[in-house]
């Protein structure tokens, strides 16, 4: 055993010398020259703290850099170590390094759900390219993003990182992101493959999902991204899928991912994911991250006792070598460590503007000549992103007050004076529970912070009020209905008082939702004249919201998820864990065995049954005619648009080409989104009322200007998955193509007979 460990240690130690002397190499040639020990080390990453399990110092650069992981080098054969770092909203590395008097901040871009809300692949691609440039210039090789999992339930703690409840919206957004990042010559890791829909007991939860729902909902998003954008890597999920751990799902990793979808990259575990590493390698999960001696020894033993075939080992080693060979390190790229942060900030701002969703409009935009009474701590402490590996060490965050002042608005003196004092106290609070936990409600003392007298006086002196409600969430924790989905009683009381006082003076009230996922709106929205959703909009969030408030930007975002009237309307709410922790702690390891055993004791924790099947989100609400507060795809504009000339034709390659003309019929420039749904003919299986098959966003149209929009739908998107035949079927019959503003607002229809 000592020999094996010492070899592993030797590889790690020598990799330090290698990291900047990279030279290209030929993977197949190197494979033939590797020893067994070198091969296994390539499949087991550098351990999580940069050392291997025996404590020897590993890659100092990785440690200093604060990246998530690294691969081992093989110095004698010119194979460099490559570095892997998070995440979906920006590169995640340490902002400072020991002994250096400079910083390494990374741009904080809008989070995943915000990017999806743009319904604009061009904007998402631009974000990816800017983020990819920081990955390249800071010396990282693979960005551990995007997270493309389906938002099955409104309370999943990682929904902010993910894109949508719909697999086409999620897959197309992920594809654009991957194209952008990889255009910089660095890799991505499409994650978490697959069915990663809750954080409670994430390392051991068994997702029990029907074959049809698995293919139509939870794998289709990955399929679209893999086929369209070719991510360099895939990251498997922590959970089990119908009793098999994701890392050991050979049918998924080999037959489906590579055999059917044509994936040619490498597959890695999530950090600490999986239990039986030799089985994982045999199933096509090529790399174990982070590394540890026990994984190295387990795989080496399995190779020597024959439980892991040399063919399977070599197949995974070759994939890892091919991944390394395409990396900036192997190409000898010397990072400049000085990316253009100013231009990237502009990209972050444009994406933040593009993804803001206008839910209700009566007063907006506001004239900057008037004074704004800005209420709630959230207005002064804007949340730019979520917590966990999806967080970013960003250089700054523009809060809403800063943004409004920059946009030329003046603040109501009384309210401003009060909050500037109050925020000093709020920020100095040591009693506040860890802000990274979803139930931290930064503004819950806002009512105390703003006595009725101040509100009353400001209603006289201001032209409008803005109230910000904030919600944060993060990896390792799910949200709680009462604390996160519902607004806090004090929040409602604050809005009620502001609404009564300002409406009594004929003034307007705008609510800004700075949130990580859907919240309850039905019970309070009548108290607000206007409602904006700005999700977690990145470092330029306050600027972007102020640009929309002032009318400098016409909002064009659309909801990529449904907002139910109440949480229990959601079809998965009866099959989702609701654990109210008695103290701030990370309960993702809630009942994890860490030895591969699956418990079947506690519903929704040990195992979760996806009883809603394919009827996730709008597929459920529209098909079952359940009213929602705001439907999937919803979003208003400051202008109006007319749609004409809708047609759908089948092209020679089998794709459906939908065309429609969009005209700006309003008073100001704006962008519109055409959503294309299809209602399939009835079959032996229940079909949803309609399903999104594509969308297109217009360029900025001036009043009176038109654009001819085209939406191409690959033929395979129309098929449904038949579990009897274990395959996709496109039955003959009448397919209704629907041009819609959202999942419930149909504008044009036409039928195509197949």
Query: x-or-dash pattern for ligand GLC, window 465-494, by CB under 6 A?
Result: ----------x-------------------
* Residue with smaller CB distance to ligand GLC, 38 or 270: 270
- Contact with ligand GLC (CB under 6 A): which of 389, 520, 608, 637? 389
CA distance linking residue 728 with residue 216, whole number of Å: 9
Report whether 605 contacts 201 (CB < 8 A): yes
Helix, strand and coil content of the chain, in percent to the nearest 5, comes to 35, 20, 45
Residue 437: CB minimum distance to ligand GLC, A: 17
φ and ψ at residue 520, rounded to 5 degrees: -75, 130
- Contact with ligand GLC (CB under 6 A): which of 61, 86, 179, 298? 86
CA distance linking residue 225 with residue 176, whole number of Å: 8
* Residue with smaller CB distance to ligand GLC, 416 or 475: 475
Cα angle 679, 680, 686 (rounded to 5 degrees) comes to: 100
Which class for 143: exposed (0-12), middle (13-18), buried (19 or more C-beta within 10 A)? buried
- Contact with ligand GLC (CB under 6 A): which of 39, 72, 125, 191? 191
First-to-last CA distance in the chain? 64
DSSP string, 646-668: EEEEE-TTS-EEEEEEEEE-SSS
Residue 391 binds ligand GLC, judged by CB under 6 A: no
* Residue with smaller CB distance to ligand GLC, 9 or 269: 269
φ and ψ at residue 11, rounded to 5 degrees: -60, -40
What is the three-class DSSP state of 120?
coil
Which class for 335: exposed (0-12), middle (13-18), buried (19 or more C-beta within 10 A)? middle
Query: x-or-dash pattern for ligand GLC, window 411-430, by CB under 6 A?
Result: --------------------
- Contact with ligand GLC (CB under 6 A): which of 37, 179, 223, 270? 270
Cα angle 55, 61, 62 (rounded to 5 degrees) comes to: 65
* Residue with smaller CB distance to ligand GLC, 327 or 554: 327
Residue 162 binds ligand GLC, judged by CB under 6 A: no
Query: How long a stretch of residues is the chain?
Result: 754
Query: x-or-dash pattern for ligand GLC, window 15-54, by CB under 6 A?
Result: ----------------------------------------
Residue 207: CB minimum distance to ligand GLC, A: 15
Residue 290: CB minimum distance to ligand GLC, A: 8
Q: Which of these, 691, 671, 711, lies nearest to 617 by C-alpha position?
A: 691
Other Cβ atoms within 10 Å of 67 Cβ, number: 27
- Cβ neighbors of 583 (< 8 A, separation 6 or more) are none
Query: x-or-dash pattern for ligand GLC, window 547-586, by CB under 6 A?
Result: ----------------------------------------
Residue 482: CB minimum distance to ligand GLC, A: 26
Residue 228: CB minimum distance to ligand GLC, A: 21
Residue 146: CB minimum distance to ligand GLC, A: 10
* Residue with smaller CB distance to ligand GLC, 93 or 549: 93
Size of the site for ligand GLC (CB under 6 A): 8
Residue 79: CB minimum distance to ligand GLC, A: 23
If you ran DSSP here, which 8-state letter would residue 483 be given? I
> How many CA atoms does the CB half-sphere of 656 hold within 13 Å?
25
Residue 688: CB minimum distance to ligand GLC, A: 30
* Residue with smaller CB distance to ligand GLC, 68 or 116: 68
What CA–CA distances, in Å, run from 60 to 248, 392, 610?
32, 21, 44
| DSSP H/E element including 720 | strand 720-722
**Within 347-376, which residues bind ligand GLC (CB under 6 A)?**
none
Q: Which of these, 107, 120, 211, 198, lies nearest to 158 by C-alpha position?
A: 198
Query: x-or-dash pattern for ligand GLC, window 314-343, by CB under 6 A?
Result: ------------------------------
* Residue with smaller CB distance to ligand GLC, 234 or 660: 234
* Residue with smaller CB distance to ligand GLC, 277 or 313: 277
Report whether 45 contacts 37 (CB < 8 A): no
**Within 125-154, which residues bind ligand GLC (CB under 6 A)?**
144
CA distance linking residue 427 with residue 442, whole number of Å: 10
Report whether 92 contacts 392 (CB < 8 A): yes
CA distance linking residue 699 with residue 248, whole number of Å: 45
Residue 196: CB minimum distance to ligand GLC, A: 8
Report whether 150 contacts 165 (CB < 8 A): yes
Q: Which of these, 267, 504, 539, lies nearest to 392 by C-alpha position?
A: 539
Residue 478: CB minimum distance to ligand GLC, A: 14
- Cβ neighbors of 453 (< 8 A, separation 6 or more) are none
Residue 68 binds ligand GLC, judged by CB under 6 A: yes
- Contact with ligand GLC (CB under 6 A): which of 25, 240, 263, 271? 271
Two tokens, residue 182:
């990889």
Catalytic residues: 270
* Residue with smaller CB distance to ligand GLC, 156 or 696: 156
* Residue with smaller CB distance to ligand GLC, 230 or 273: 273
CA distance linking residue 403 with residue 257, whole number of Å: 45
- Cβ neighbors of 231 (< 8 A, separation 6 or more) are 178, 182, 187, 188, 189, 190, 225, 263, 265
Query: x-or-dash pattern for ligand GLC, window 705-724, by CB under 6 A?
Result: --------------------
* Residue with smaller CB distance to ligand GLC, 166 or 475: 475
* Residue with smaller CB distance to ligand GLC, 199 or 491: 199
Residue 147: CB minimum distance to ligand GLC, A: 6
With tokens 């969009």, the residue in question is: 662
* Residue with smaller CB distance to ligand GLC, 86 or 298: 86
DSSP string, 435-452: TTSTT--TTTTHHHHS-H
Going edge to edge, which strands form the sheet with 371-375? 357-360, 530-533, 508-514, 464-470, 371-375, 410-411
**Dihedral, CA of residue 71, residue 124, residue 355 and residue 173, to nearest 10:** -80
Residue 152: CB minimum distance to ligand GLC, A: 17
Report whether 181 contacts 188 (CB < 8 A): yes
Residue 144: CB minimum distance to ligand GLC, A: 4
Two tokens, residue 626:
């359940």
Residue ranges binding ligand GLC (CB under 6 A):
68, 86, 144, 191, 270-271, 389, 475
């Amino acid at each position: 055993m000592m020999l094996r460990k010492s070899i592993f240690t030797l590889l790690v130690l020598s990799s330090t010398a290698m990291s900047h002397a990279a030279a290209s190499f030929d993977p197949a040639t190197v494979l033939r020259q590797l020893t067994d020990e070198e091969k296994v080390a390539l499949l087991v990453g550098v351990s999580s703290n940069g050392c291997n399990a025996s404590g020897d110092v590993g890659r100092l650069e990785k440690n200093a850099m604060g990246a998530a992981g690294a691969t081992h080098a093989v110095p004698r054969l010119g194979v460099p170590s490559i570095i892997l770092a998070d995440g979906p909203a920006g590169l995640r590395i340490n902002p400072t390094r020991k002994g250096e008097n400079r910083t390494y901040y990374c741009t904080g871009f809008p989070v995943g759900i915000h990017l999806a809300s743009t319904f604009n692949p061009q904007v998402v691609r631009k974000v990816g390219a800017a983020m990819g440039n920081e990955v390249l210039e800071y010396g990282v090789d693979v960005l551990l993003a995007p997270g493309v999992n389906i938002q099955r339930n409104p309370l999943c703690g990682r929904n902010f990182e993910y894109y949508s409840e719909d697999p086409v919206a999620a897959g197309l957004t992920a594809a654009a992101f991957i194209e952008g990042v990889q255009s910089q010559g660095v890799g991505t890791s499409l994650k978490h493959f697959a069915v990663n829909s809750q954080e409670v007991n994430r390392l051991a939860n068994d997702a029990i999902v029907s074959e049809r729902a698995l293919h139509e909902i939870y794998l289709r998003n990955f399929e679209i991204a893999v086929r369209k954008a070719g991510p360099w890597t895939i990251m498997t999920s922590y959970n089990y899928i119908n009793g098999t751990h994701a890392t050991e799902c050979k049918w998924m990793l080999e037959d489906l991912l590579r055999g059917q979808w044509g994936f040619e990259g490498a597959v890695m575990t999530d950090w600490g994911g999986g239990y039986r590493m030799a089985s994982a390698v045999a199933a096509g999960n090529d790399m174990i991250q982070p590394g540890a001696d026990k994984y190295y020894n387990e795989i080496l033993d399995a190779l020597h006792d024959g439980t892991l075939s040399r063919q399977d080992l070599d197949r995974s080693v070759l994939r890892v070598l091919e991944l390394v060979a395409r990396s900036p390190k192997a190409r000898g790229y010397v990072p400049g460590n000085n990316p253009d942060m100013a231009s990237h900030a502009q990209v972050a701002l444009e994406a933040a503007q593009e993804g803001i969703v206008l839910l209700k409009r009566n007063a907006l935009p506001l004239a900057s000549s008037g004074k704004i009474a800005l209420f709630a701590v959230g207005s002064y402490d804007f949340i730019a992103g979520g917590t966990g590996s999806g967080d970013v060490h960003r250089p700054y965050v523009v809060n809403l007050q800063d943004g409004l002042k920059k946009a030329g608005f003046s603040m109501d003196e009384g309210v401003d004076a009060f909050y500037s004092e109050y925020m000093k106290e709020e920020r100095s609070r040591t009693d506040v529970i860890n802000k990274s936990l979803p139930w931290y409600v930064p503004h819950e003392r806002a009512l105390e912070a703003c006595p009725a007298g101040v509100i009353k006086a400001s209603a006289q002196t201001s032209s409008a009020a803005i109230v910000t409600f904030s919600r944060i969430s993060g990896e390792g924790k799910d949200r709680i209905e009462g604390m996160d989905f519902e607004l806090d009683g004090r929040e409602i009381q604050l809005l009620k008082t502001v609404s009564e006082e300002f409406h009594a003076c004929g003034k307007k009230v705008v609510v800004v939702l700075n949130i990580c996922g859907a919240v309850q709106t039905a019970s309070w929205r009548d108290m607000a004249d206007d409602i904006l959703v700005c999700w977690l909009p990145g470092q330029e969030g306050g600027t972007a919201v102020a640009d929309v408030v002032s009318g400098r930007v016409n909002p064009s975002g659309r909801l990529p998820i449904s907002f139910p009237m109440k949480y229990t309307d959601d079809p998965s709410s009866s099959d989702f864990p609701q654990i109210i922790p008695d103290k701030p702690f990370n309960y993702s390891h809630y009942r994890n065995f860490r030895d591969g055993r699956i418990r079947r004791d506690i519903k929704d924790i040990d195992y979760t049954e996806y009883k809603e099947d394919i009827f996730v989100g709008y597929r459920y609400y529209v098909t079952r005619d359940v009213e929602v507060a705001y439907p999937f795809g919803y979003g208003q504009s400051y202008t109006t648009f007319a749609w004409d000339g809708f047609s759908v034709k089948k092209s020679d390659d089998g794709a459906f080409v939908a065309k429609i003309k969009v005209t700006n019929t309003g008073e100001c420039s704006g962008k519109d989104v055409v959503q294309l749904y299809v209602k399939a003919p009835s079959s032996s299986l229940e079909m949803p009322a309609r399903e999104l098959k594509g969308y297109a966003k217009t360029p900025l149209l001036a009043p009176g200007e038109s654009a001819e929009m085209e939406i191409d739908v690959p033929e395979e998107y129309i098929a449904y998955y038949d579990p009897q035949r274990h395959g996709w079927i496109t039955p003959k019959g009448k397919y209704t193509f629907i041009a819609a503003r959202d999942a419930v607002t149909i504008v044009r229809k036409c039928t195509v007979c197949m």
